[in-house]
Amino acid sequence: MRALRILLVIVVVLGGIFVVDRVAVYFVESEAEGRVHVTGATIGSTDISIKGFPFLTQLAGSRLDEVDVEITGIETDANGRRIRISRMNAALHEVKLADGYAGATAARATGTAVISYEDLTKAAGDGVVVEYGGNGKVKVTGTVDILGRPLSRSVLSTVTLVDGHILKVRADKVPGEGIPGLEGLVRRKTDFEREVGGLPSGLKLQKIQPTVDGLEISVTGTDVQLDG
């Protein structure tokens, strides 16, 4: 019976520690979500999930094993055009907290950023619509003026990353290429480049892939900084 009582006491104590630990995690996550900002960009909302147990010992050492971050609606201005990252998910590892927990730096990070076709359309030229074209392509539709008459043209385009931060959309082939001057007119509407910014310092774009839900961009980084 004595052994059983000791076991019950241990279970109660451990249970209490677990509850306190989880409450502390919830409190810190909530506080951090409202304080995160990205230099040079505006953000919609942030969701933070701190991994690992016990949390309190990690906090005492000002170093967290892993923090998952989801940021919705990252907007930046580049060359007069506003581009919006619909959402970004990142797993931050070995996160060192700054003095007073005003910020944090992750030793390494991996994640995914998504730009919806609605947001990409807004970032393209006036009167241009961007949609998923299937087979890893995007469909770009624009209207050009031919002898005073509007002519709508749709093209399948390849999306690439240039210098790790510029999104380039270029038509594989333009309908009516044999008509003098038509290809140039269409490409001036459908081909475009936009700089993608607004990521936390240290994160870099690695690979881009058009999907049904939007442009999916893999991101990685070292010494990734989150400002609080």
pLDDT per position as a tens digit, 144-174: 776 667 767 788 999 998 888 888 999 998 8
Task: Give dist(CA 93, CA 106) in Å, integer.
Answer: 6
The order of strands in the sheet holding 63-78 is 42-51, 63-78, 81-97, 103-115, 214-227, 203-211
- pLDDT tens digits, one per residue of 70-109: 888 887 775 667 788 888 888 888 888 776 556 778 889 9
Average pLDDT over residues 103-131: 88
Kindly tell me if the per-residue pLDDT of 6 is higher than 50: no
Work out the average pLDDT over 24-42. Answer: 63
- Decide: 51 and 67 in contact? Cβ < 8 Å: yes
Residue with tokens 């594989």, as numbered in its chain: 172
pTM of the predicted model, to two decimals?
A: 0.79
